[in-house]
Each structure stands twice: as C-alpha cells, then as structure tokens.
Amino acid sequence: MKHPWIAGKWHKVRRPAIPVVNPATEETIDCIPRGNAEDAEMAVRAARAAFKTWRWMPGVEKAALLHEIARRIRARQPALARLMTLEGGKPFCENRDEVEWSAACFDYYAEIGRHSRGNSIPPVFAHQVNFTIKEPYGVVVAIVPWNYPLLLMAWKVAPALAAGNTVIIKPSSETPLATLALADAFSTLPAGTVNIVTGSGEELGAALIRHPGTDLIAVTGSVETGQRVGALCAEQIKKVHLELGGNDPFIVCSDANLEIASRAACWAAYLNAGQVCTGAKRFYVFDAIADNFTRGIVRFTRSLKLGSGLNPTTDIGPMIHLRQLEDVHARVQDAVGQGARVLCGGRRSPKFKKGFFYEPTVMADVNQDMRLVRTETFGPILPIMRVQGMDEAIEMANDSAYGLGANIYTNNMEWAMKAMERITAGTFWINDPLSDNDAAPFGGMRRTGHSRELGEEGLDEFRETKHVHLDYKQEIKPYWYPYSRYNRLTS
C-alpha cells in the first residue's frame, strides 16, 4: 500500500485501504490509505513550517528548483505514462503527452514567476511613491481530478509554488499513483513545500478545507463538487479557486472542410473516452451539410479501435469506472426514449469480458431538452443537432448553464468573429479544438467557475495584491483632512 508523502518523507499510517482499480481489467493494482483529519493536520503543519522560508526564497532560486522538477518529470516520462494508463485507462501515447505538458508547465512558471513585476502607481501629491507588490496566500490545497491527474495538478502546483505558496496535493482516489510517484521530483524542494495525501473528498478533503491553517483551496471537478467546496470555504471566507465542468458546443458551418471537421469533431468528442471537461459535447451542424458531415462522422467513428491503453494501436481506452459508464448509458437510453437515434455505438462493448469499455457513439435527432445535452455528459458520445444558420447556432450554444469552451469550424471570418463575440465561453477555438497554451489563460464562465489557470492570470490566482504608499518627507500634511478639526489642531 502507498503512503502519504509529508515533510519530505513517506509516513507509514494504518488506515482503511482504498483500492486503485485498472479500468481496463477491473483488477486492483495497488491501494492507498483513506486519509483523515490526522493526515490533514500533519500535512498542514509541514506546509506552514515550510512557508516561513519558501515565501522569502529569491525568485531565481525558486526558478531553478521548478526547472529541476520539470527535468525529473521528463526523466520518468515512460514509467509515469504507463502508471497513468494502468490507473486511468487513457492510452499510453496520450499519457506521454500529458507528462510532457506537465513538465512544460513547471518550466513556464519557473520563468514567469522569476520575471513577474509589480506596478508603479502615479502619486496624488509630491514626495510620494505608490506601488503594488504581490504576495503568496500561504498554504494551498490542490484537489485534483482523475481524468488528467498530472496536468491539472501542474496547472495548480507550479504557479502556486512560483508565487511563494506551499502546497498540499490531494489526488483523486481513482488515479493517485502517478501523483505519489512524483515525490522524487518534489524531493528537491525544502521539506514540506509540497505534500501529497490521499483519501476521500468527504473526509480528507473536507478536513483540509476546514483547517484554519490552509489559505486557498484550488479544485478541478464537477459543478456539484465546486458547490460543496465553495460552501465549506465560505464558512471561513477562504479563497477558493474553482475550475468546474463544461458542456462545450461545436459548430460546423456550411463552408467547413468536412473531412477535417469530422476528424476534429471525433477528436474533441472521444479524447480520453469523452472524459474531458473541455470535450465537445453538443454539435450544431448547418443543415446544408449535415447529412454529409454525419456520414463522415459515422465512418470515422467506426474506424476507431477500442481497447487497452497499453496497446499501441488503441484509439480509445476504457471509462474510469462502472458507475461512470452506467451514467452515460442511461443518458443515451433516455435520449432514445425521447426520439433520438443511435447511428453507431450506444452500448457497452461486448468484445471485452472485463473492463469499462463503452463504444464511441454517434446520435442524431437530438434536442436541447434531453439530459444528454442539457447537463455535462462525461463519455464518448457525439450528439448531432441541425441548425439553419449562424444565429440559431449561437442561440443554441448559449442555451446552457456552462461556459467553459466553444468551438467553430469555418473559413468565414465574419461567422467566426460573430460567434466568438456572442458565445459565452472562457476559451473559443476556431478550427483547432482543445488546444492549450501555457501562456494563455484557461477557465470558464457561468457555472463552470470563476478562476483562471495558465498564463500570468494563473499566477495571479495564487497571489494577493498589496498596495504600498510611501511618503519620503515627514511633515504635517494639511490635505489629509482639509475640513476636519484635526487639521486646525495641527496647523
């Protein structure tokens, strides 16, 4: 059984075990302890002690240590990618990409943190100087989901460290092993700067959130998780950083290259078996090309290979667990009951005796009122809806409580810019879905959350702004209170 990593060393604890299951085989590959308030206390104590020195470490030294973390992550890329495939199911080649992206995030924040600057403010009167400095919050709790366990960890931990905070990582109980394997990469930091604890959100997560020694809670998860975390943070007026679910629209215009657009649509819908918060989940296709687009989608979907992520020919791996598969299938069945048609897929794959494999699914005759479309569906489903033109596509795209991302395929810049301006989304992709850029902010609107990761905005999420007012001439200043009795007494 794995153990928590606190203050730079492994702590052997006797706790009830949580099994970590391979979703491709349904076999238990390891166990982690079900952490509790005692583990939270140890981790917070270690992080608070480390904060006293880490916050004051010169930026150039912090940068060197973050670069070393990136180097160590890259050095273990194949082993980390394999471990992520075993615990999460995502194909090995995609996990190798994730490891590289995670390392690159530490490299990026090493540099942006070292070069970040404050602002000088024009003073109101002579012999005054005004400027701002940005300070760390203190101890950051990073609560990480299972679908991209290293990448979404890096998006929080790298900027938090660059800003001068110390960190406690709580990985998902479904995919904790690769995160625990990063203890070696974090071991170059002063003990307690990064700590890793495992357990359920209801027990360990709540203990970390409620602990008076934690200062900022950073979460990626469902809207429901965000609501619970936000309510707990509100009890202490504690800073909360929320990146929540999405239900992204994907518009295909009549001038789109259908071969390219259909492949891109499948990529956006089926990546990680559809278990991506920025995955496209609602497809609005101009009626003039809808039949041809749909045929291309079905043809390409049927060519995709479902299987173990360790098989180099696999395109789509298993879903994370049985209840996730059953939820997706229930949504498909509910839509069929309301008149939708399954063009391909629509069932748990009969080819596998074990594993949570769901066939990539294309659906037609879908409408906005179906649960499949109305709420976030976390699975390999591609529902197609016809629209008569751009105005209808924009209206339907905005008919959602979410606002994470949106996509469009067109060469008509007027259409593209009109959609970009009018659709409520934190990221708008034109002819290139799901791409990220470490230097560009990522985050959502509406129920998707109110925070940003990546870019300088992502660094600022982990810093507080302090205004400094300096007057280098000590004297009585009558302009302080020009109409007050104080001014008469001191003049």
Catalytic residues: 243, 277
SS3 state at 104: helix
In DSSP terms, 169 is beta-bridged to 142, 196
* Distance in angstroms (rounded) separating the CA atoms of residues 202 and 31: 18
Contact (CB, 8 A) for 268 and 434: yes
Contacts of 350 (CB under 8 A, 6+ apart): none
* Distance in angstroms (rounded) separating the CA atoms of residues 361 and 359: 6
Contact (CB, 8 A) for 131 and 119: yes
* Distance in angstroms (rounded) separating the CA atoms of residues 187 and 18: 25
The distance in angstroms from the start CA to the end CA of the chain is 75
Sign of torsion over alpha carbons 99, 100, 103, 109? negative
* Distance in angstroms (rounded) separating the CA atoms of residues 227 and 317: 30
Identity of residue 195: N
Q: CB-based burial of residue 437 (10 Å sphere; 0-12 exposed, 13-18 middle, 19+ buried)?
A: exposed
Contact (CB, 8 A) for 146 and 198: no
Contacts of 68 (CB under 8 A, 6+ apart): 188
Q: Which of 117, 146, 153, 150 is nearest to 134 (CA)?
A: 117
Contact (CB, 8 A) for 444 and 244: yes
Q: Which of 428, 420, 435 is nearest to 390 (CA)?
A: 420
* Distance in angstroms (rounded) separating the CA atoms of residues 426 and 216: 22
Residue 344: φ, ψ to 5°: -165, 155
Sign of torsion over alpha carbons 33, 37, 38, 39? positive
Count CB-CB contacts under 10 A for residue 427.
Answer: 22
